[in-house]
Chain A
């Protein structure tokens, strides 16, 4: 045994470690199972997966990538909140500060913006891929609907974040978008008023978009993501190519 393994072995025997992980090393299938269902986060995943679903071509990891982008967005988003005031014109001043004052501020904003665009791309890509694999068919109908909800949440998250820099690009993009809402018959104007907190895009709209962006929408997204993962497991794992219709020989 190397000294490294020795150290790990000794660490495993300490009372602190044993209180954290209520199992031995995951060397048998039983302890490997416990590693998954004994962990509050991992227990959303199945204990076993079919060999075929581990192939890259089974998923291209599109769903995983979408989720990991959400994680990156959460981390960078929380850090950006430390430098941001949802007020006019402080919001724009904070963008300038991120560029010229805050160390790595540009990088932080770049990463957040980039991951946001990528998440929209990947959530669509994931959906189309699942569709072509027939992943919406029984018994996975409900999880498809959850997925559509997550698609809409992703778009709303991206859209509400778009206003926050309070520059010309943000202001007019949101103007174009919210004008579309007012075309809804009867409910259009009240809905737009509710979203903007007024008749035009101003300080109230910025605050509402901010609260939607950092609290309300992420909260719903986290809940739906948990349900989505859970249901993948409960509905019998990911959809394999062979599962629906003809077997393809390519």
Chain B
């Protein structure tokens, strides 16, 4: 802002000459909220001490476990001897499980790429910053859109017979839908679920599917990526 514009309001910018403050309070903002941070403590020693304790406990736990658990080591690498099944590290087994269902371009490139892009753009979608519940206005239009997306997803998973994704998706969508049709029921858990925003439902669905896929890839897949029971 240039000097001319400042003086147009009738007050100089020199605080000593003109020690006045003007506050405009518009409808949705309050001047007070930002300044009010509650009680504060000094980082040194309060925070530093707690962090040090966490470091010590963590180190002790890690050392104790490392004394009793042995890191795996197999035979020397042999490019001519393929183990069956060949498994990726556990955190990529969800991805490997996807490869079992979908074409490589979808499972190996499209889905992980979309997940990463989605994670990066989450904060830049200013949709629902206040975290309004999914069925806040109990609008039929929203329920319709929700149903269409769910049905499209279910058809997609169904075509590729990806039942381990199909079932958790169906269950999650069922629970979310139920909270629409049964307002005021289900006790505290029902009240909790009805207060969740759409972002909560999507993230929780993603986490549940990711955990299920990783677990299946780790313990339920045998030779030729066939289904095995871990206790057999």
Contact = CB atoms under 8 A, between A and B. Distances in A.
Interface of A: 26, 29, 32-33, 35-36, 42, 45-52, 54, 61, 64-65, 68-69, 71-72, 88-89, 92, 95, 99, 106-107, 109-115, 117-118, 120, 128, 131-132, 134, 136-138, 140-142, 144-145, 148, 151-152, 155, 158-159, 162, 165-173, 175-177, 180-181, 183-185, 200-201, 244-246
Contacts of B47: 45, 49, 54
Contacts of A42: 43-44, 48
From DSSP, what is the main secondary structure of chain A's interface residues? helix
Contacts of B45: 26, 32
Given A48-B41, A65-B54, A114-B66, A92 B77 contact: yes
Q: Which of the four size classes fits the interface of chain B?
A: 35 or more
B230 interface: no
Interface string B77-112: 111011100111111100110010000110011000
A36 B79 contact: no
Interface stretch (B8-16, B18-26, B118-126, B176-184): B118-126
B40 A167 contact: no
B67 A173 contact: no
A165 B81 CA distance: 17
A48 B43 CA distance: 5
12 contacts: A36-B43, A45-B43, A46-B43, A51-B38, A114-B62, A114-B65, A114-B69, A144-B122, A148-B116, A168-B81, A171-B77, A245-B131
B224 to A, nearest CB: 14
B65 A54 contact: no
Contact of A132 (B74, B120, B200): B200
B9 to A, nearest CB: 28
A117 B37 CA distance: 37
A48 B42 contact: yes
Contacts of A132: 200, 203
